[in-house]
Amino acid sequence: MIDHISTYAMDYPKSRTFYDAAMEALGYPIQMEMVTTWDEEFPERRTCAWGPDRPVFWLIETLVEPTPRHIALAAADRAGVDAFHTAVLGVSAPDHGAPGLRPIYHENYYGAFALDPDGNNVEAVYQLPV
Protein backbone atom coordinates (compact mmCIF):
# COMPACT_ATOMS: atom_id res chain seq x y z
CA MET A 1 0.00 0.00 0.00
CA ILE A 2 2.74 2.53 0.87
CA ASP A 3 5.18 3.42 -1.91
CA HIS A 4 7.49 5.56 0.24
CA ILE A 5 7.43 7.50 3.49
CA SER A 6 9.43 10.27 5.18
CA THR A 7 10.47 11.17 8.68
CA TYR A 8 12.04 14.44 9.75
CA ALA A 9 15.18 15.26 11.72
CA MET A 10 16.22 18.34 13.68
CA ASP A 11 19.78 17.00 14.10
CA TYR A 12 20.35 15.49 10.67
CA PRO A 13 23.85 14.08 11.29
CA LYS A 14 22.78 12.36 14.51
CA SER A 15 19.61 10.98 12.90
CA ARG A 16 21.57 9.89 9.83
CA THR A 17 23.92 7.92 12.10
CA PHE A 18 20.94 6.24 13.79
CA TYR A 19 19.22 5.29 10.53
CA ASP A 20 22.45 4.23 8.82
CA ALA A 21 23.00 1.75 11.67
CA ALA A 22 19.38 0.57 11.65
CA MET A 23 19.13 0.15 7.90
CA GLU A 24 22.51 -1.55 7.55
CA ALA A 25 21.52 -4.09 10.21
CA LEU A 26 18.31 -4.81 8.28
CA GLY A 27 20.01 -5.00 4.90
CA TYR A 28 18.54 -1.81 3.40
CA PRO A 29 21.23 0.18 1.54
CA ILE A 30 21.24 3.92 1.04
CA GLN A 31 19.55 4.57 -2.31
CA MET A 32 19.77 8.34 -2.67
CA GLU A 33 21.17 11.49 -1.04
CA MET A 34 20.64 15.10 -2.00
CA VAL A 35 20.44 18.69 -0.89
CA THR A 36 17.12 20.32 -1.78
CA THR A 37 18.58 23.52 -3.21
CA TRP A 38 15.20 24.38 -4.75
CA ASP A 39 13.65 24.98 -1.31
CA GLU A 40 13.85 28.77 -0.90
CA GLU A 41 13.16 28.60 2.86
CA PHE A 42 15.88 25.99 3.50
CA PRO A 43 18.11 25.67 0.41
CA GLU A 44 20.70 23.55 2.21
CA ARG A 45 18.17 20.98 3.49
CA ARG A 46 19.74 17.52 3.45
CA THR A 47 17.79 14.38 2.66
CA CYS A 48 18.50 10.73 1.97
CA ALA A 49 16.62 7.49 1.48
CA TRP A 50 17.12 3.77 2.05
CA GLY A 51 15.34 0.79 0.61
CA PRO A 52 15.73 -2.73 -0.67
CA ASP A 53 16.00 -1.68 -4.33
CA ARG A 54 14.78 1.94 -4.53
CA PRO A 55 14.22 4.92 -2.20
CA VAL A 56 11.45 3.88 0.22
CA PHE A 57 12.27 5.40 3.62
CA TRP A 58 13.32 9.06 3.53
CA LEU A 59 15.07 11.12 6.21
CA ILE A 60 14.56 14.86 5.72
CA GLU A 61 16.28 17.63 7.66
CA THR A 62 13.88 20.15 9.20
CA LEU A 63 14.03 23.40 11.14
CA VAL A 64 10.71 22.71 12.86
CA GLU A 65 10.50 20.14 15.64
CA PRO A 66 8.62 17.15 14.23
CA THR A 67 5.81 15.30 15.97
CA PRO A 68 7.07 11.90 17.13
CA ARG A 69 5.66 8.86 15.37
CA HIS A 70 5.97 5.08 15.32
CA ILE A 71 7.91 3.50 12.45
CA ALA A 72 8.08 -0.27 12.00
CA LEU A 73 10.79 -1.63 9.70
CA ALA A 74 10.51 -5.15 8.29
CA ALA A 75 13.26 -7.58 9.23
CA ALA A 76 14.07 -10.67 7.17
CA ASP A 77 14.07 -12.86 10.29
CA ARG A 78 14.34 -12.69 14.08
CA ALA A 79 18.12 -12.38 13.84
CA GLY A 80 17.55 -9.18 11.84
CA VAL A 81 15.43 -7.79 14.66
CA ASP A 82 18.20 -8.62 17.11
CA ALA A 83 20.84 -7.05 14.81
CA PHE A 84 18.75 -3.87 14.49
CA HIS A 85 18.47 -3.53 18.26
CA THR A 86 22.19 -4.11 18.82
CA ALA A 87 23.11 -1.65 16.04
CA VAL A 88 20.96 1.25 17.21
CA LEU A 89 21.91 0.83 20.85
CA GLY A 90 25.51 0.84 19.60
CA VAL A 91 25.01 4.40 18.33
CA SER A 92 23.55 5.46 21.71
CA ALA A 93 19.85 5.22 20.88
CA PRO A 94 17.63 4.83 23.94
CA ASP A 95 16.21 1.32 24.29
CA HIS A 96 12.43 1.29 24.00
CA GLY A 97 11.86 -2.48 24.08
CA ALA A 98 14.28 -5.40 23.87
CA PRO A 99 13.89 -8.02 21.15
CA GLY A 100 11.22 -10.55 21.92
CA LEU A 101 7.82 -11.97 21.18
CA ARG A 102 4.87 -9.63 21.55
CA PRO A 103 1.93 -12.09 21.81
CA ILE A 104 -0.45 -9.21 22.51
CA TYR A 105 -0.29 -8.62 18.71
CA HIS A 106 -0.12 -12.30 17.67
CA GLU A 107 1.86 -15.42 18.56
CA ASN A 108 4.66 -14.88 16.00
CA TYR A 109 5.14 -11.12 16.40
CA TYR A 110 8.83 -10.61 17.21
CA GLY A 111 9.97 -7.01 17.59
CA ALA A 112 12.46 -4.63 19.14
CA PHE A 113 12.18 -0.89 19.73
CA ALA A 114 14.44 2.14 20.15
CA LEU A 115 13.99 5.90 20.07
CA ASP A 116 15.63 7.90 17.31
CA PRO A 117 17.17 11.32 18.05
CA ASP A 118 13.80 13.04 17.47
CA GLY A 119 11.88 10.73 19.79
CA ASN A 120 10.34 8.53 17.11
CA ASN A 121 9.58 5.01 18.30
CA VAL A 122 11.44 2.93 15.71
CA GLU A 123 10.81 -0.80 15.59
CA ALA A 124 12.18 -3.75 13.69
CA VAL A 125 9.69 -6.58 13.36
CA TYR A 126 9.44 -10.10 11.99
CA GLN A 127 5.97 -11.66 11.99
CA LEU A 128 6.32 -15.15 10.53
CA PRO A 129 6.73 -18.41 12.45
CA VAL A 130 10.26 -19.74 12.80
Query: Following DSSP, what letter does each residue of 12-65 receive, concatenated?
Result: HHHHHHHHHHHHHHHT--EEEEEE-TT-TT-TT-EEEEE-SSS--EEEEE-SSP
pLDDT digits (tens, 9 = 90+) for 72-99: 999 999 999 999 999 999 999 999 999 9
Does residue 66 belong to any structural domain of this protein? no
Does residue 113 belong to any structural domain of this protein? yes
Question: For the whole prediction, is pTM greater than 0.85?
Answer: yes
Does residue 121 belong to any structural domain of this protein? yes
Q: So what's the pLDDT on residue 103?
A: 97
Domain CATH code at residue 43:
3.10.180.10
Does residue 55 belong to any structural domain of this protein? yes
Q: So what's the pLDDT on residue 10?
A: 97
Q: What is the number of structural domains in the chain?
A: 1
Instruction: Give the residue numbers spanning the domain of 107.
Output: 5-61+71-126
